[in-house]
Amino acid sequence: MDWNELLEIAEHERSQQKPIRLHCCTSTGCRAANSIAVLNGLRDAVDEAKLGDRVEVVGVGCMGFCSRGPLVQIDPNDDLYEEVKPDEAASIVSTLTGGTTSAIKGDTQHPFFSRQMKVVRQHSGKLDPERIEEYIAVGGYQALHKVLYEMTPAQVVEEISRSGLRGRGGGGYPTGLKWATVAKMPGEQKYVICNGDEGDPGAFMDRSVMESDPHLVLEGMAIAGYAIGANHGYIYVRAEYPLAIERLQKAIQQAKKYGLLGSQIFDSPFDFKIDIRIGAGAFVCGEETALIQSIEGGRGNPRPRPPYPAQSGLWGCPTLINNVETYANIAAIINQGADWYASIGTEKSKGTKIFALTGKIRNNGLIEVPMGITLREIVEEMGGGVPDGDVKAVQTGGPSGGCIPASMLDTPVDYESLMAVGSMMGSGGMVVMDQTTNMVEVAQFYMEFCRGETCGKCIPCRTGTVQLYSMLTKILNGKATKADLDAMEALCYMVKDTSLCGLGMSAPNPVLSTLKYFPEEYRERLQEAIAPTPPVEPTEQHGTATAPELLAQ
Amino acid sequence: MDTLTQATLTQPKIRFATVWLAGCSGCHMSFLDLDEWLIELAQHVDVVYSPVGCDLKEYPKNVDVCLVEGGVANEDNLELLLQVRQRTKILISFGDCAVTANIPAMRNLMGGADLVLKRGYLELADDTRKLPHAPGIVPELLDRVMPVHEVVPVDIFMPGCPPSADRIKATIEPLLTGHKPVMEGRSMIKFG
Amino acid sequence: MAPVDEKVNVNQSPGGGAVDSSQGKNGKAKAEHPSGDRRFKQLDITMKRHQYKPDALIEVLHKAQESFGYLEEDVLHYVARGLKLPLSKVYGVATFYHLFSLKPSGAHTCVVCLGTACYVKGSGDVLKALEEKLGIHAGETTADGQVSLTTARCIGACGIAPAVVFDGTVAGKIQPQDALARIQEWS
Amino acid sequence: MSRTVVIDPITRIEGHAKISVFLNDAGEVDNARFHVVEYRGFEKFCEGRPFTEMAGITARICGICPVSHLLASAKTGDKILAVKIPPTAEKLRRMMNLAQLTQSHALSFFHLSSPDFLLGWDSDPAKRNVFGLIAENPDLARAGIRLRQFGQTMIEILGGRKIHAAWTVPGGVREPLSAEGQQWIRDRLPESFETVHLALSLFKTLLDTQLKDEIHYFGEFPSLFMGLVGKHGEWEHYSGHLRFTDSHGNIVADQLSEDDYQEFLGEAVEPWSYLKFPYYKPLGYPAGMYRVGPLARLNVCSHIGTEQADRELQEYRDRFGRIPTSSFIYHYSRLIEILACLEKIQELVNDPEIRSDRVRANAGINNLEAIGVSEAPRGTLFHHYKVDENGLIEKVNLIIATGHNNLAMNQTITQIAKQYIRNNEITEGMLNRIEAGIRCFDPCLSCSTHAAGQMPLHVQLIASDGTVLQDVYR
Amino acid sequence: MSVKTLTIDGKDVAIEEGATILQAAKEAGVAIPTLCHLEGVSDVGACRLCLVEIAGTSKLLPACVTEVAEGMQVQTNTPKLQEYRRMTVELLFSEGNHFCSVCVANGNCELQDVAIQVGMDHTRFPYRFPNRGVDMSHPSFGIDHNRCILCTRCVRVCDEIEGAHVWDVAQRGAGCYIVSGLNQPWGTVDACTSCGKCVDACPTGAIFRKGETTGEKERDRAKLEFLVTAREKHQWIR
């Protein structure tokens, strides 16, 4: 494979594509709503109507508006149909020839769509993720070619650094800096790992990227491999994402077939292979050192850092670990330049971010927005607000994050601002809660999660989460006192400060943030608030006797 | 003149009590192991309530210092402990059963009181097998044996199974002169 | 697998699951599994593909679970021997991950997603309804071996919350009565 | 109108208990009941523990006589191992039991019961205690305290600590006797003898004077008596066989082995007490009432086997006949036993073998079921274990000294209540006498309940339909 | 080998590069409590007792695995650390079933010692009372999971020194326990050489010699040190 062949494939693919494409989502969400039947229905209808020469039906990746699936979109006129039933397929096809349909037509001018800015999801929902040719047709793998032939590894690292891209897995560590660190480490053998263990409940951005545009991830990893001097990459995907695994596997095979992965990519000296490792149901494996343990075939127990994986990672070798979304940004940065990328977002948080907008909100789904947009814009404009009632809080960052009260909806969405209000970006889960949501229960829910997902290696996390959970339960049962509440808060800080890895360090966040913003919800459940029974009789305490010092206490 | 003697001369006596919840009485026995120091203690305290040292049946008001032995295992324990807390200035959790629930709490591993009752009165009886039940007389067992501080606030913790007489003395003696004992180090806070 | 509860280790606590030690001894003597079960062949292929590297343990366990439905002791022994791993390490790994099961699951499986989005939209009620109907708790299988009920932390189908996976197929926007209707079809 | 009087808690006993006295419409006592109000459940929660830990765990049944449990448990352990322990180990174990009998009896007599005798049944309840005794008769109090201290310190010398010394173990004991320890014991013996003689003569004088009547009202009734006796029928506290004697001095059963205890002992339950009611099986429940402890041990034995104690025993039998049947005599028999213990300690401490360091035998598990017995201060104690092949406890049964006396204690307080309570008239002193009836037995309720109070004394007027008409708190 | 200089609780220490803060503290005569650390086997940083404060970083770092650096200023006993250590020990006591009074290790238990060291006279967290088992199937030893604090010293000593890898950790979170073989009775694990190193490594009374009664457990720590010296330095000195 060389540059010309790549262009030829792209050209050939484009020439083969029909002028009208009916895109039907085949990602997990829509599949669950029976989109495969819709897809088949559309194909049959096209055949029936004998439109096969100018119309094709394509099973595509995620369009984002998951709550309204199955979604069907007509390209190029951009008509969108929502909640399509298989028996509506024929009438939708008939609209191409002037017919009418009873299918619900979506409003593509709605802020949910119009406010988005798509970098990573640029092609999601527009191409068939199971065909590499479609990816190549939209310019895929050109960035890889570009780095191999026009840039030195150092230049690539520099470009990424200049773009201002930060880790999309939650921590927000500058990606370029991480790459530079691994690139500088001595050693023949280095590894690239893609963290696809998206474990935060309420987050499915990475699943969508892997399902909808798997090559984007592979290309980003290959570029990273070139930049840091690694020839072997692993994608660690959680087993709960079978479709993502299947599509990544297909994508790797196809890329290998075209010489876009494997030995001497684009006939250059650069070799890069990618293997998939499948998780087995352990949230903690999203933590990078635990993930490495898991790839090595062990229990997902994190280990103390330093040394960081960049210094000593997989099998003790320098290892670059980034999240799916991070890698999915790489090709765009290489193609369009660091300056272009850095022009998006805020001063410290560049580019776009995908969020999974869920919970008590009218428009559920995936959105990609420029950094710096406010929570209010996302929740009220794009999300359309809470169906009946008002927003109470928005939870970001999953079990590691916090609950941001409605009064702070004007907070801009960027790493620093979210941190400042006691939450975090996390991987991009954004769960909206309305006035009916009990915030203590929410804290308890997350603590239940953490107590179940702690690996058990270090004591604060292993038992601290169990104790916190029972303290929350005690509060919810109206059995707790103010002293219990204080003890709980003290334990939160202890678990936060002494746990070995990020899971424990962030496990108390949902409690602390709800305590901070919704203290009355805790206080009104305390025993004193329910029935005032002071444990000590305030009067008649003093005995007849003994030293004043003691009794004065 | 030592400080203790001096204190006696200048201060009225401390109202002193001991209480025994679910435990083996070993802590009380260790208290009695103070031996002749008890005679000295008697000069500084009025024992106003104690299973080994007083015949009064009702826990009085205005108690200055109370040693509470044992965990909280049944309704009577609970009721008495709440009363003790309300009427006592300095409550001392006395011995491992009070501090940790200790051996009586081994039944907590069985997940409730049912199994131990069943074993004792149904399996291991020859005649008239039944569970003791007489409301107001025979207190119901609580589901879980608890250390004292899980039920009421505690001022001083004196672990040990039992705490030695030396430890008991070192805890009580400062109190007699109005000082808080220093509960530190192997001699004062070792469990077991 | 069930959410970890502090009492969860009761059944699996050491001494609880006595293993016939002779199995290990018998197994060691022979290269091929004595039962002649063809599924062990598949395990061999997987192990060979990974060059019998100990690092491949999780991959091999995935394969084993796929072939056998669950990880019986015999299989764990076989894998340990094949990858030259200590038994305790294999057991430690197999029990660390929720997706590996050391007990056979029911003929049908029902996984209720308890991710945040699903939780906020009432998946707890769905689970409760199923538990009541089936007379089991999450993580258990009905006495007749028909249905295993489990929960998931998040299956990433938040857009269609609450989601339930019936026999491997995700179903969205499931209300308690929908869930009951679905399991009704199995009986 | 019928009413119930509740004494709650019973004080100056080792444990948690209440007494109810039921009065009939005429204000006469119908019945009295002794309620043990706590239960801990050792027989269940010991399951699954290694049998080697049982001594340590069961010692925690009781802080007063932990040694009894240590011994019974170690003896049961010996049988599981099927070992014969080294002779020195047996002597040391005996020595510890003697020390315990001494300290426990001293406690019962001086600390708990003597305030009644010396300060008076009707004296101020606020002062009627050991501290009151200290104020009233400091010399006697000090002597009593030091006698108990002698026993406790001996236990410490042998076992390393005074309470819960986990020193007796299956196969023997953990540490031999030190030279310093031996010397200490020798040095303190004379003072202890002096104290017990003082107590004996004091008590005998009291019996002749102010405590004359109590003998007849504090539980004087016929019953069986059970205790260990040696090969020749002599007093025994550590090994030997079980003997039952009736009130006429007839030996009802003899040379019974503890291994067969289930054949001759049954246990009944009453809903109003956590303490079960053991009975002599051949006579059935409740006819098979028997008493254990010092009174019973002196009744079942032919002689003690030491000079001074046998002399006292003779005088005692001269006073009350061969078989005294009043529960009040427990106090007297307790003092005689202290004397016997001291004499036996004297023998043992001077035994040429006593300082041998061969004190522990080792073996594997050779029996899966075993029963151990010892004489606790309050009576005979049985430990019965079933273990699995690895030595983990599968089943435990414990029959505790105080339990044996349960039927007798109920009968005793009923008799006292009938004697002293008349015409609905109740005084504190009357109630104290009823409690004292229980104190005769020196019940160890921590033990008896393996399971263990204190609540206000209150008198309830209860109508025949059960409604409470009046609550009178003191 | 270059030497790094640093201060620990204000004391100047010089130690060779690559040494841990724990080693440096030992050199300086500063006692830092530990439980999962065992000389001679790898460190895992799990018990969190040896966390220290280092000037310039907000994170508390485990002294047992953190290497010294030039100019490092380490504080090992600040009020915050004291409070956290005490809570850590309280959590350890609350999660298992530690009945010191009847434990074979009573009086010779590192957990008990640490409790005294950090001034823990009671735990403020409710005891969990988990239902755990005892395995006495081995002819010479027993393991009582009630007393296990999951320090994994036994796992490491068996794997790294004896090379038998009888032990590992099973399950996860609060359900974790030390497992022998394929969750089988210890006595039936063929890999076990009955060397007893796990008994000596165990800081509590969880692994003990059969027949030991309350307070009788003794630990031959010198044996482990001897083996480590022999292995690392090829010196067979005892």
Inter-chain residue contact E170 with C25, CB threshold 8 Å: no
| Residue D6: pLDDT band with limits 50, 70, 90 | confident
The answer to whether residues A160 and A175 touch, using CB atoms and an 8 Å cutoff, is yes
Q: Do both A205 and A293 map to the same domain? A: yes
Q: Does a structural domain hold residue A8?
A: no
Q: Do both A453 and A503 map to the same domain? A: yes
Question: What's the start-to-end Cα distance of chain E, in Å?
Answer: 29
pLDDT of residue C37: 83
Residue from B183, B156, B150, B174 nearest B81 by CA: B150
Distance from CA of E130 to the nearest CA of B (A): 6
- In chain C, pLDDT over 70 holds for what percent of residues? 82
In chain D, which residues have their Cβ closer than 8 Å to the Cβ of E136?
50, 390-392
Dist. CA C46–CA A499, nearest whole Å: 37
Whether pLDDT at D433 is above 90: no
Whether pLDDT at A541 is above 50: no
> Is D284 within 8 Å of chain E by CB?
no
Residue from D202, D165, D164, D197 nearest D181 by CA: D165
Residue E82, token pair as written in the block: 């004291």
SS3 C7: coil
> Is E174 within 8 Å of chain C by CB?
yes
In chain A, which residues have their Cβ closer than 8 Å to the Cβ of B84?
none
Residue B138, token pair as written in the block: 């025979």
Q: D–A contact (≥3 CB pairs within 8 Å)?
A: no
In chain C, which residues have their Cβ closer than 8 Å to the Cβ of E178?
14
Inter-chain residue contact D57 with E102, CB threshold 8 Å: yes
| Residue C23: pLDDT band with limits 50, 70, 90 | very low
| Residue D28: pLDDT band with limits 50, 70, 90 | confident
> Is B12 within 8 Å of chain A by CB?
yes
Q: Do both A313 and A178 map to the same domain? A: yes
> Is D74 within 8 Å of chain E by CB?
no
Inter-chain residue contact A551 with B64, CB threshold 8 Å: yes
Q: Does a structural domain hold residue A22?
A: yes
Q: What is the mean pLDDT of residues D150-155?
A: 97
Q: Does a structural domain hold residue E236?
A: no
- In chain D, pLDDT over 90 holds for what percent of residues? 69
Question: What's the start-to-end Cα distance of chain A, in Å?
Answer: 85
Q: Does a structural domain hold residue E145?
A: yes
Residue from A497, A491, A513 nearest A399 by CA: A513
Inter-chain residue contact E175 with A466, CB threshold 8 Å: no
Q: Does a structural domain hold residue A77?
A: yes
Q: In B, residues 94-133, which contact A (CB 8 Å cutoff)?
A: none
Which tens digit of pLDDT belongs to each residue from C90-117? Answer: 999 999 999 999 988 889 999 999 888 8
Q: Does a structural domain hold residue E142?
A: yes
Q: Does a structural domain hold residue A113?
A: no
Whether pLDDT at D250 is above 80: yes
Which tens digit of pLDDT belongs to each residue from C33-53? Answer: 777 788 899 899 999 999 999
pLDDT of residue C157: 81
Domain ranges of chain C: 19-96, 108-184
Q: Do both E91 and E191 map to the same domain? A: yes
pLDDT of residue D445: 54
Which tens digit of pLDDT belongs to each residue from A219-270? Answer: 999 999 999 999 999 999 999 899 999 999 999 999 999 999 999 999 999 9
In chain A, which residues have their Cβ closer than 8 Å to the Cβ of B179?
547, 549-550
Q: What is the mean pLDDT of residues A475-498?
A: 95
Q: Do both E122 and E18 map to the same domain? A: no
Inter-chain residue contact A466 with E95, CB threshold 8 Å: yes
pLDDT of residue A211: 95
Q: Does a structural domain hold residue E233?
A: no
Whether pLDDT at A550 is above 80: no
Q: Does a structural domain hold residue E226?
A: no
Inter-chain residue contact E179 with C91, CB threshold 8 Å: yes
In chain C, which residues have their Cβ closer than 8 Å to the Cβ of A240?
152, 154-156
> Is B112 within 8 Å of chain E by CB?
no
Ranges A463-467, A475-479, B109-113, E105-109: which has the least confidence = B109-113
Residue from D310, D332, D337 nearest D320 by CA: D332
Q: Chains touching chain E at 3 or more Cβ pairs under 8 angstroms?
A: A, B, C, D
In chain B, which residues have their Cβ closer than 8 Å to the Cβ of E97?
106, 109
Domain of A23?
A: 18-106
Dist. CA D4–CA C174, nearest whole Å: 63
Dist. CA E92–CA E96, nearest whole Å: 7
Q: What is the residue-averaged pLDDT of chain E?
A: 93
Dist. CA C134–CA C127, nearest whole Å: 10
Distance from CA of B63 to the nearest CA of A (A): 6
> Is A550 within 8 Å of chain B by CB?
yes
Which tens digit of pLDDT belongs to each residue from E23-79? Answer: 999 999 999 999 999 998 999 999 999 999 999 999 999 999 999 999 999 999 999
Which tens digit of pLDDT belongs to each residue from B115-159? Answer: 888 998 998 888 788 888 888 788 899 999 999 999 999 999 999
CB nearest E48 (choices: A299, A451, A458): A458
Q: Do both E72 and E123 map to the same domain? A: no
Q: Do both A428 and A445 map to the same domain? A: no
Whether pLDDT at C26 is above 90: no
Q: Do both A334 and A200 map to the same domain? A: yes
Q: What is the mean pLDDT of residues A25-49?
A: 92
User: Domain with E53 in it: what CATH number?
Assistant: 3.10.20.740
- Scanning every residue of chain B, which has its alpha carbon at the shortest distance from the alpha carbon of A537? B86
Q: What is the mean pLDDT of residues D10-33?
A: 75
Residue D274, token pair as written in the block: 């956590």
SS3 per residue for D54-87: HHHHHHCCCCCCHHHHHHHHHHHHHHHHCCCCCH
> Is C95 within 8 Å of chain E by CB?
yes
pLDDT of residue E236: 59
Q: Do both E89 and E108 map to the same domain? A: yes
Whether pLDDT at B10 is above 60: no
Alpha-helix residue ranges (DSSP H) falling in A337-436: 338-342, 375-376, 415-420
Whether pLDDT at D456 is above 80: no
Residue from A331, A332, A323, A312 nearest A172 by CA: A323
Q: Do both E215 and E106 map to the same domain? A: yes
Q: Do both E105 and E8 map to the same domain? A: no
Domain D42-212+223-351+365-404, CATH homologous superfamily name and number: Cytochrome-c3 Hydrogenase, chain B (1.10.645.10)
Name every residue whose Cβ is closer than 8 Å to that of residue A253 and which is 6 or more positions away in sequence: none
The answer to whether residues D373 and D392 touch, using CB atoms and an 8 Å cutoff, is no
More confident residue, D468 or D391: D391
Which tens digit of pLDDT belongs to each residue from A91-134? Answer: 999 999 988 999 999 998 999 999 999 999 999 999 999 999 99
The answer to whether residues B54 and B25 touch, using CB atoms and an 8 Å cutoff, is no
pLDDT of residue A532: 42
The answer to whether residues B85 and B93 touch, using CB atoms and an 8 Å cutoff, is no
Q: What is the mean pLDDT of residues B63-79?
A: 94
Q: Does a structural domain hold residue E47?
A: yes
> Is A548 within 8 Å of chain B by CB?
yes
Residue B81, token pair as written in the block: 């402990």
Dist. CA E93–CA E96, nearest whole Å: 6
Q: Do both A192 and A240 map to the same domain? A: yes
CB nearest A240 (choices: C92, C155, C160): C155
Q: Do both E95 and E189 map to the same domain? A: yes
Domain termination residue (choose one: E77, E92, E113): E77
Q: Does a structural domain hold residue A195?
A: yes
In chain C, which residues have their Cβ closer than 8 Å to the Cβ of A451?
4
- In chain A, pLDDT over 90 holds for what percent of residues? 82
Inter-chain residue contact D56 with E210, CB threshold 8 Å: no
Q: What is the residue-averaged pLDDT of chain D?
A: 89
Q: Does a structural domain hold residue E238?
A: no
Domain of E66?
A: 3-77
Which tens digit of pLDDT belongs to each residue from A1-17? Answer: 899 999 999 999 999 99
CB nearest B111 (choices: E115, E123, E131): E131
Q: What is the mean pLDDT of residues A29-52?
A: 92
Q: Do both E213 and E111 map to the same domain? A: yes
Q: Chains touching chain C at 3 or more Cβ pairs under 8 angstroms?
A: A, E
More confident residue, C20 or C78: C78
Most D CBs within 10 Å: which of E145, E188, E207, E214, as the mutation test of the D interface? E214
pLDDT of residue D474: 32
> Is B73 within 8 Å of chain D by CB?
yes
SS3 A29: helix
Q: Do both E96 and E209 map to the same domain? A: yes
Question: Measured in whole angstroms, how far is the alpha carbon of residue D252 from the centre of its chain?
Answer: 22
| Residue B1: pLDDT band with limits 50, 70, 90 | very low
Whether pLDDT at C29 is above 60: no
> Is D125 within 8 Å of chain B by CB?
yes
Q: Does a structural domain hold residue A467?
A: yes
Most C CBs within 10 Å: which of E184, E189, E193, E198, as the mutation test of the C interface? E184
Alpha-helix residue ranges (DSSP H) falling in C57-175: 57-68, 73-83, 87-96, 116-120, 123-134
SS3 D460: strand
Inter-chain residue contact E176 with A451, CB threshold 8 Å: no
**Domains contained in chain E, number:** 2
In chain D, which residues have their Cβ closer than 8 Å to the Cβ of E216?
166, 169, 174
In chain B, which residues have their Cβ closer than 8 Å to the Cβ of E93?
100
Distance from CA of A156 to the nearest CA of E (A): 31
DSSP string, C29-43: H-SS-TT--HHHHHH
Q: Do both A224 and A300 map to the same domain? A: yes
Inter-chain residue contact D50 with E216, CB threshold 8 Å: no
Q: Do both E108 and E188 map to the same domain? A: yes
More confident residue, A541 or A110: A110
User: Domain with A210 in it: what CATH number?
Assistant: 3.40.50.11540
Q: Do both E136 and E154 map to the same domain? A: yes
Q: What is the residue-averaged pLDDT of chain A?
A: 92
Residue A357, token pair as written in the block: 């907008």
pLDDT of residue A505: 95
Taken in order of first residue, the domains within chain B and their CATH numbers are 3-106+141-178 (3.40.50.700)
Chains D and E: how many Cβ contacts under 8 Å? Answer: 48
Q: Do both E174 and E112 map to the same domain? A: yes
Dist. CA A10–CA A133, nearest whole Å: 7
Q: Which residue has the tokens 């399951």?
A: D47
Distance from CA of D352 to the nearest CA of B (A): 31
Ranges A131-140, D50-59, D433-442: which has the least confidence = D433-442
Residue from A321, A166, A120 nearest A233 by CA: A321
Residue E45, token pair as written in the block: 């940083």
Q: In Å, how far are A199, D20, D73, E102 from D78, measured between CA atoms?
A: 57, 43, 9, 19
CATH of span C108-184: 3.40.30.10
Residue from A30, A303, A309, A29 nearest A169 by CA: A309
Q: Chains touching chain D at 3 or more Cβ pairs under 8 angstroms?
A: B, E
Burial of C32 (0-12, 13-18, 19+ CB in 10 A): exposed
Burial of A242 (0-12, 13-18, 19+ CB in 10 A): middle
In chain D, which residues have their Cβ closer than 8 Å to the Cβ of B120?
39, 41, 43-44, 276, 451
pLDDT of residue A529: 62
| Residue D195: pLDDT band with limits 50, 70, 90 | very high
Inter-chain residue contact E174 with A455, CB threshold 8 Å: no
pLDDT of residue A525: 93
The answer to whether residues E206 and E149 touch, using CB atoms and an 8 Å cutoff, is yes
> Is C135 within 8 Å of chain E by CB?
no
Question: What long-range pairs does D365-368 form, CB within 8 A, spacing at least 24?
Answer: D365/D80, D365/D81, D365/D389, D365/D390, D365/D391, D366/D80, D366/D81, D366/D82, D367/D79, D367/D80, D367/D81, D367/D82, D368/D80
CB nearest C9 (choices: E177, E182, E184): E177
Inter-chain residue contact E122 with B190, CB threshold 8 Å: no
Which segments within A238-302 are labelled E, that is strand?
273-278
> Is E133 within 8 Å of chain D by CB?
yes
> Is B143 within 8 Å of chain E by CB?
no
Whether pLDDT at E211 is above 50: yes
Inter-chain residue contact A546 with B63, CB threshold 8 Å: no
Alpha-helix residue ranges (DSSP H) falling in A69-194: 89-94, 111-114, 132-137, 142-150, 153-163, 175-184
CB nearest D166 (choices: E136, E144, E215): E215
Whether pLDDT at C32 is above 80: no
Dist. CA A529–CA A321, nearest whole Å: 49
pLDDT of residue A180: 97
Most A CBs within 10 Å: which of C58, C158, C182, as the mutation test of the A interface? C158
**Domains contained in chain A, number:** 4
| Residue C28: pLDDT band with limits 50, 70, 90 | very low
Domain ranges of chain D: 3-40+422-473, 42-212+223-351+365-404
User: Domain with E107 in it: what CATH number?
Assistant: 3.30.70.20
Q: Do both A159 and A282 map to the same domain? A: yes
Q: Does a structural domain hold residue E153?
A: yes
SS3 A91: helix
Domain termination residue (choose one: A316, A342, A368): A342
Dist. CA B176–CA B4, nearest whole Å: 7
Handedness of CA A259, A263, A267, A270 (dihedral sign): positive
